[in-house]
Chain A
Amino acid sequence: MDKTEPRTLAGFMELLPNEQILFNQMKATIENAYQKFGFLPLDTPIIELSEVLLAKAGGETEKQIYRFAKGETDLSLRFDLTVPLSKYVAKNYGNLSFPFRRYQIGKVFRGEKTQKGRFREFYQCDIDMIGDGELDIINDAELPSIIYTIFKELGFDYFTICINNRKILNGLFESIEQEENAVEILRIIDKIDKIGKKAVIEELGRVNVQKNAIEKIIKFIAIEGNSDEKIKKLENLGIENKVYANGVEELKQVVKNIRLFGVPDSNFKVDLTIARGLDYYTGTVYETFLNDYRELRKCMFWRKI
């Protein structure tokens, strides 16, 4: 009899028992931490109507969707746990208590280009807090303490949770009337380590940023020190802008409350360089990495939705 070669699709993780034991331990650690903070469990279907799942999608995401027809019905596999959550909250609004704090751990599917370390089927472990109408800024500070708990329980001590607030950068650009140039300016200032301050100033001049605006940008990216010093310097930068002031105030609140939640200063810091590129973020942004392995930050996403 002809035998079919036993094989698994590229981009789909399949583990040996010893690896699976470890994987499940990590998953349980994360789930326990989520429960420890009182998040409610949720399990939504892996398959949803395409119309529902793709209500918002577009561009890159839409191209990666596993989409198929079963009979007459147009179906898709979920590509994250956030869209199903949005649907769930809208659908069950009357039966939920707000703030609605839920966790969900499950597989999601994205038909990305296959390459080493990229998966088409992967687990996401999400927590979200949803407010009815509003959500206080202190919620932004509880999240880092959950991440802190998880990393500690996974056995890591040397990691850093970096915190920033998008409003600071948005407000800065607004105050120097450079909102339209924002992407270009960010691209240039990200090169400062490589090309040096003088070249950055020159390049900014070349894209028509005025001299006093350049001065403000340079002063802004030169801000250094510990978390409190950075906030102090942000406050004293002389930028008269509501969005900017609001961003600095929120950042100050978050730092104060992170300490209140028991995260030591050795495990978090204000980092004004993170999430510069992600212009769809509006408030607090975070990144976590193991101190010697910065690349791991890609495994963790934070968002305002």
Chain B
Amino acid sequence: MAEYYTDKKLPGVGISIGLTRLFYKLNELNLIKADKNSVSDVLIIPMLEDLTIPIKLATKLRNNGVKTEIYLNNKKLKAKFKYADKLKIPYVIIIGEDEISQNKFKLKDMNTGEEKEILFDDIDSLKF
């Protein structure tokens, strides 16, 4: 190769994967499923106006390598859950005044519906 640019002899061997076409074909043949709607592991739903604690919690989780999203807009709780549902985010964390006063938050597994209360101090042991 490269004989158009140099006199050096540079033999080569290689592969080229046409990813766009491969993806298109696999999708068309239903051999792959685009069933992930979000890259987030967890969505934090704040139930209070002061976002200090939810943002701190998000930062902590992100530093632990958890892909974390906060629902930052002031909507009804139902709309917030609908968002998590539509994007199929696997976990939701709910924080309100009550939780904060007890130094904990609620963690909901969106697949099973199971809810757990987690102490802020235990956050490092959380696995997603």
Contacts and interface: CB of A to CB of B under 8 A. Distances in A.
B14 A119 contact: no
Given A19-B27, A86-B2, A117-B25, A124 B16 contact: yes
A280 interface: no
Interface in A104-132: 105, 117-119, 121-132
A19 B34 contact: yes
Given A90-B5, A124-B18, A139 B25 contact: no
Given A86-B5, A298-B18, 17 more contacts: A16-B34, A22-B34, A26-B22, A93-B6, A119-B24, A122-B18, A122-B19, A122-B21, A126-B15, A129-B12, A143-B14, A293-B31, A295-B25, A299-B19, A299-B22, A300-B18, A304-B12
A152 interface: no
Contact of B1 (A19, A21, A86, A143): A86
B35 interface: yes
B49 interface: no
Nearest to A150: B17
20 contacts: A19-B34, A22-B23, A26-B23, A80-B16, A82-B1, A90-B5, A90-B6, A93-B8, A126-B14, A133-B8, A133-B9, A284-B13, A296-B26, A298-B21, A299-B19, A300-B22, A301-B18, A302-B13, A304-B11, A305-B1
Contacts of A276: none
B37 interface: yes
Contacts of A56: 4
B85 to A, nearest CB: 14
Interface of B: 1-2, 4-6, 8-29, 31-39
Interface string A21-36: 1110011001000000
Interface string A283-305: 11010001001011011111111
Interface string A137-181: 001100100110010000010000000000000000000000000
Contacts of B1: 82, 85-86, 89, 130, 305
Query: What 9 A-B pairs are tightest by C-beta distance, nearest first?
Result: A128-B14, A90-B5, A122-B20, A305-B1, A299-B22, A55-B4, A90-B6, A123-B19, A86-B2
Contacts of A30: 17, 19
A84 B127 CA distance: 45
Contact of B16 (A86, A125, A135): A125
B95 to A, nearest CB: 26
A97 interface: no
